[in-house]
Copies of this chain bind each other. A is one copy, B any other.
Amino acid sequence: MDGLTINEAAQTTGWSARMLRYVEQAGLVSPERTGAGYRIYGPGELQRLATLKELLTRHDLSLSDIAFARRLEQDERLAADVQAWLAATPERPAEVAPGDWLSFEQLRHQRLLGIAP
């Protein structure tokens, strides 16, 4: 075989084997399988896993966020409906307690990182 097994890929990418299976279940990175069912991670998957990790930490996202972003790209109706709602929402972030509306999206992550109280 010309790819890495799950544990090798885990050590290479910094994810845990458990998370690699989880990421696959989320439909974000699905490696090929050998005849016996072993996952085989090729250069493409390894690359995608590395950049995915970067993406998540850099922007403080969850796997669901990425899955949702894909839905937005693939479901025109969804994208249109969401944009329509957002467009009709002149939400004045200035009137909200500064940083409150945004922190809602990131609060859990910030807590996880020990940034927020």
Contacts and interface: CB of A to CB of B under 8 A. Distances in A.
A72 interface: yes
Contact of A82 (B26, B69, B84): B69
Given A27-B101, A81-B55, A89-B48, A72 B72 contact: yes
Contact of A104 (B67, B72, B88): B67
Consensus secondary structure, chain A interface: helix
- Count class of interface residues, chain A: 35 or more
A71 B27 contact: no
Contacts of A89: 28-29, 48
Give the oligomeric copy count.
2
Given A64-B105, A68-B105, A105-B71, A85 B52 contact: yes
A76 to B, nearest CB: 12
Contacts of A73: 83, 86
A78 B51 contact: no
A58 interface: yes
A96 to B, nearest CB: 6
